[in-house]
Amino acid sequence: MRINKPLALFMGILLVPFTTSCDAVEAPTPEKESPAVTDSHHADKAVYINDLIHETSPYLLQHAHNPVEWYPWGEEALQKAKDEDKPIFLSIGYSACHWCHVMAHESFEDPDIAAVMNEHFINIKVDREERPDLDDIYMSAVVALSGSGGWPMSVWLTPDLKPFYGGTYYPPTDRYGRPGFVTVLNAMADAWKNKRDEVETGATGLVTHISKQLTGAGAPRGQVSETIFPEAVKALKATYDETNGGWGNAPKFPSSPSIAVLLRDYARSEDEATLAMATHTLDQMADGGMYDQLGGGFHRYSVDAQWLVPHFEKMLYDNGQLAQIYLEAYQLTKKPRYAKIAREILDYELRDMRDELGAFHSTEDADSEGEEGKFYLWTHSEIIALLGEEDGAIFNAYYNVKEGGNFSSHEPYHTGLNILHLTRTPAEVATELGLSVEELEAQMVPMRAKLFAVRDKRVRPALDDKVLTSWNSLLITALAQGSRILDEPRYAKAATEAGTFILEHMMEDGVLLRTHRHGKSHLPGYLDDYSYTVNAFVDLYEATFDTKWLEAADRLAGDMVSHFWDTEDKAFFFASDKHENLIVRAKPNHDGAEPAGNSMAALGLLRLAKLLDNADYYNVADEVLQSGAPFMERGPQGYMKLLCAADFIVYPPKEIAIAGKADRDDTRAMVSATFADFVPNKVVAFVDPDSKDVEALGKTMPLLAFKTMVDGKATGYVCKNFACEAPVTEVAKLKTLLQGN
């Protein structure tokens, strides 16, 4: 629904925002956090300080020296708008958003434009990563008004917070037949002064529209069944790019939940076409420039359909999810390459994104030294100079490096530059060079290391070093799962340290907090913080068998149900009853770049229900799935993570208990076998039958009750709905049970 036309007409001008924006992607060059930032484009060289100076968000601090009288979202600014009867200009973005910085430099650093803003509006800046509730509400308004959305988000609100106009990036002055930011500001000010009744009427109607959209109030409910999964696969096939992998055209985003659905379907159906969609996409992404071929980790998305040219920022939430899906693909196919990619993602996070206290930072920027991608790009001659003619020729052949550059760009500084990517298999390159594949790969290792060392001395992209609970939890899950699947204890250690950080630094009076930076944690957590962390702590339990993680997951799950659950519509709100009241209390179930909180809540509760034999958790999760069933049926591609939760309930999970001595080889072999193959719907518990707390453990986890070692050997029990197969003491027999129906 697009409802901006009446508003545009009564304002007397066609206000169409530029479509150029960061669709959760484009990355800027953040300014340094410093005592003063001056504007080189203006002669007065004035130094300004506004109220953002007291914030912790790197994005907000980047604007703390704008001449705009910015306020953070809070009581002071909101009350000021009411007292002065001024509309609010709300600007929402994030530190890795290229066009956010363009608009900041062109408009927010301009004293003349700032004067217009300060005269007519109360100006509020929001970091969307800290306040996803505000971002969700007002992005829905922008999409309703203009038909599309992105960042920077620019929204005009009444003093009672109702949006009446919005868009994304605006140039400072009129261009290409489109209004500039000053034109829009003046139009908004005039509308507020001279057409107040029409503005408020339109704003009220808009709130009604987005409220219905975001709450799903009164929406039909349904039941999930086996039929929903073939239909979801059919929908994925309909939009699949058979040439390049992935779905749709450019820009092309990774879709980890979609691949997860395909892997689960193949595990049951053995439909090779389904598996091919998943693996071809994984291969194409890993071959492309969207993957950092030297340092590991994925960039945000590809601007083209071939996965070649990325927007170069790296997001923690993307890499956490992608590591998980490459791990699952490795379990299913046993292809070493998928294990390698997963390792490289996790090693990148440990190397470059880790906080000194063990948590993980949010984002690496796209730009360095004012140029997008500069840190990652190479010239042909530069590589020859570093590696020599012979090795350089091999390297350039392997990664398709060309003298004139290997991609086109609208940016003049990209001329002659190359993105490292693979267009041929190593076998094809080896044949051309007269080498064996083994010889080629062996030679590539030191060459990659040499270029990585040189690259590491370049000016790095800026780092958004805030710690977000939800994003950290996605990586904790990946690390915990990676520790088992790859038999890599250091990943379990890192996951444990990050989980400990959450318990020690992100809890206040029993409330999970959202964000942390430089010793300060604040903002009550949202549904995604709780639901992602519940899953992460279950994964930590299965990686370590330390029951404190299961106990912590249980506490958080109980709090989530107590404070986020909508008893009428039977789904979770995004904000808890401890958050401030906004114009809408949304209930998210649409899976986007990050899984919806309801999807993750359902999955986490189902896992806990099995481990703890908690029927209440199971029933709540079932209600969430009933709420989402009609949406999954009508448009499955928007609900892929919810489909994974539905898969867990439709195809009951295997409940696996291992009884043994933790320090013995036979026990380790049993545990390793449990995680070696792709068994997506499972829970795993461990008991040492001789431990002093074995009786209490059996009461906490009935799955472990009366589970003993057989003939003194490590023993595996595979159950479904607490009905167990005969215990086994041989790894091969355990694996057979795990693969059975």
Average pLDDT for 192-205: 97
The residue ranking higher by pLDDT, 622 or 414, is 622
Give a yes or no: residue 83 inside a domain: yes
Residue 10's contacts (CB-CB under 8 Å, 6 or more residues apart) are: 191, 195, 198, 202
* pLDDT score of 589: 87
Q: What integer pLDDT is reported at residue 22 of this predicted model? A: 66
Asked, for residue 447, whether it belongs to a domain, the answer is yes
Residue 395 Rama label (left phi>0; alpha psi -120 to 50; beta) = alpha
Least confident of 44-48, 368-372, 376-380: 44-48
Could you report the per-residue pLDDT of 557-572, keeping only the tens digit for each?
A: 999 999 999 999 999 9
- For 502-550, what is each residue's pLDDT tens digit? 999 999 999 999 999 999 999 999 999 999 999 999 999 999 999 999 9
Q: How confident is the model at residue 18 (pLDDT cuts 50, 70, 90)?
A: very low
Q: Count CA within 13 A, CB hemisphere, residue 188.
A: 30
For residue 46, what pLDDT band results from cuts at 50, 70 and 90? low
**719: domain range?**
652-741
Q: Kindly tell me if the per-residue pLDDT of 223 is higher than 60.
A: yes
- Residue 713: φ, ψ to 5°: -105, 155
Residue 98: which CATH number? 3.40.30.10
Residues 326 and 253 both lie in one domain: yes
Q: Kindly write down the DSSP assignment for every residue of 569-596, as one continuous string.
A: TTEE-SS-TTSPP-S---------SS--
pLDDT higher than threshold 50 for residue 6: no
Identify the sign of the CA torsion 340, 344, 345, 347: positive
Task: State the average pLDDT over residues 631-644.
Answer: 96
Q: State the chain's mean pLDDT as an integer.
A: 92
pTM for this prediction = 0.93
Q: Do 285 and 432 fall into the same domain?
A: yes
Those residues whose C-beta lies under 8 Å from the C-beta of residue 483, and which sit 6 or more positions away, are: 489, 490, 491, 492, 495, 543
The CA distances from residue 27 to 101, 326, 484, 583, in Å, are: 8, 25, 34, 30
* Nearest one of 86, 89, 68, 117 to 193, comparing CA atoms: 86
Residue 23's pLDDT band (cuts 50, 70, 90): low
pLDDT at 721: 84
- Same domain for 271 and 237? yes
The number of domains in the chain is: 3
Instruction: With respect to residue 638, please indicate whether it lies within any of the assigned structural domains.
Output: no
d(CA 107, CA 102): 8
- For β-strands 88-93 and 122-127, DSSP reports them as parallel
Percent of the chain with pLDDT over 70: 94
What would the two tokens of residue 716 be?
A: 């595996």
Q: With 80 as the cut, is the pLDDT of residue 188 above it?
A: yes
How many Å is the maximal CA-CA distance in the chain?
A: 87
Categorize the per-residue pLDDT at 5 as very low, low, confident or very high, splitting at 50, 70 and 90. very low
- The answer to whether residue 373 scores a pLDDT higher than 50 is yes
pLDDT at 218: 75
Contacts 24+ apart (CB under 8 A), 552-555: 552/499, 552/503, 553/604, 553/608, 554/608, 554/612
Length of the chain: 741
Write the pLDDT tens digit of every residue in 246-269.
Answer: 999 999 999 999 999 999 999 999
Same domain, 314 and 167: no
pLDDT over 90 at 326, yes or no: yes
Find, among 475, 221, 473, 472, the residue nearest to 324 by Cα.
Answer: 475
Residue 502 included in any domain = no
Looking at residue 130, its amino acid is: E
Residue 12's pLDDT band, with cuts at 50, 70 and 90, is very low
Domain boundary pick from 419, 434, 463: 463
Q: DSSP secondary structure string, 305-322?
A: TTS-SEE--EEHHHHHHH
Same domain, residue pair 155 and 269: no
The answer to whether residues 14 and 156 belong to one domain is yes
Let me know whether 185 and 249 are in one domain.
Answer: no
561 within some domain: no
Closest CA to 379 of 298, 455, 313, 443: 455
| Confidence at residue 98, expressed as pLDDT on a 0 to 100 scale | 84
In this structure, the answer to whether residues 271 and 211 fall within a common structural domain is no
Compute the distance between CA of residue 401 and CA of residue 380 in angstroms, rounded to an integer: 6
Residue 138 reports pLDDT greater than 80:
yes
421-468 pLDDT, tens digit each:
999 999 999 999 999 999 999 999 999 999 999 999 999 999 999 999
Q: Which of 186, 215, 244 is the last residue of a domain?
A: 215
Examine residue 377 and state whether it is found in any structural domain, yes or no: yes
**Confidence band of 409 (pLDDT split at 50, 70, 90):** confident
| pLDDT tens digits, 686-741 | 999 999 999 999 999 999 999 999 999 999 999 998 789 999 999 999 999 999 87
256 domain residue, yes or no? yes
Distance CA 88, CA 76 (A): 13
Q: What is the pLDDT of residue 370?
A: 87
Quick check: is 314 in a domain?
Answer: yes
Cα separation, 72 vs 52, in Å, equals 6
Average pLDDT for 58-85: 97
**What SS3 class is residue 722?**
coil
H-helix or E-strand containing 379? none
SS (H, E, C) 663-692: CCHHHHHHHHHHHHCCCCCEEEEEECCCCC
Distance CA 347, CA 312 (A): 18
**Which of 215, 239, 258 is a domain's end point?**
215
374 and 284 assigned to the same domain: yes
CB neighbours of 632 closer than 8 A, spacing ≥ 6?
Answer: 224, 228, 232, 639, 642, 643, 646
| Four-CA torsion 435, 441, 445, 446, nearest 10 degrees | -10
**372, 258: one domain:** yes
The mean pLDDT of 395-401, rounded to a whole number, is 98
Does residue 634 carry a pLDDT above 90?
yes
Do 207 and 346 sit in the same domain of this protein?
Answer: no
Are 156 and 89 a contacting pair, CB within 8 Å?
yes
Identify whether residues 305 and 407 lie together within a single domain.
yes
